[in-house]
Amino acid sequence: DAGITQSPRYKITETGRQVTLMCHQTWSHSYMFWYRQDLGHGLRLIYYSAAADITDKGEVPDGYVVSRSKTENFPLTLESATRSQTSVYFCASSEPPSGRFQETQYFGPGTRLLVL
């Protein structure tokens, strides 16, 4: 299916475990993003990537690791999950900014993660 997909959609894990959230897009967008959504905070940027093998930190990167070996995939790994990482995680993708214009970000359906 075309678009941006995330897996799993729901995940329950325990403190200290490693968890990887997957994101896949079929548009060949060069930019990809990971956000977390928490009540009272809106969406906050965790990491983003401008192209394959190019990643950079966002607002709240601590405790997370990303990689991007292929343009279409952008996995997010919680190396040792903590309860504070219980959240809804959204992946997004976009074209690069073109001149004066910023390109629209397209969001996946989200992954609900519960860390016990």
Report the interface residues with another protein, using CB under 8 A: 4, 31, 33, 35, 40-45, 48, 50, 58-59, 90, 92, 94, 96-97, 100-110
Closest CB to another protein among residues 85, 94 = 94
Q: Which two tokens stand for residue 16?
A: 């200290």
What is the distance between the alpha carbons of residues 55 and 40, in angstroms, rounded to a whole number? Answer: 27
Collapsing DSSP to helix, strand or coil, 6 comes out as strand
Taking the complex as a whole, the smallest distance from the CB of residue 80 to another protein amounts, in Å, to 27
Closest CB to another protein among residues 13, 44 = 44
Closest CB to another protein among residues 36, 81 = 36
Taking the complex as a whole, the smallest distance from the CB of residue 103 to another protein amounts, in Å, to 7
Q: Are the C-beta atoms of 109 and 7 separated by less than 8 Å?
A: no
Taking the complex as a whole, the smallest distance from the CB of residue 13 to another protein amounts, in Å, to 20
Q: Are the C-beta atoms of 78 and 22 separated by less than 8 Å?
A: no
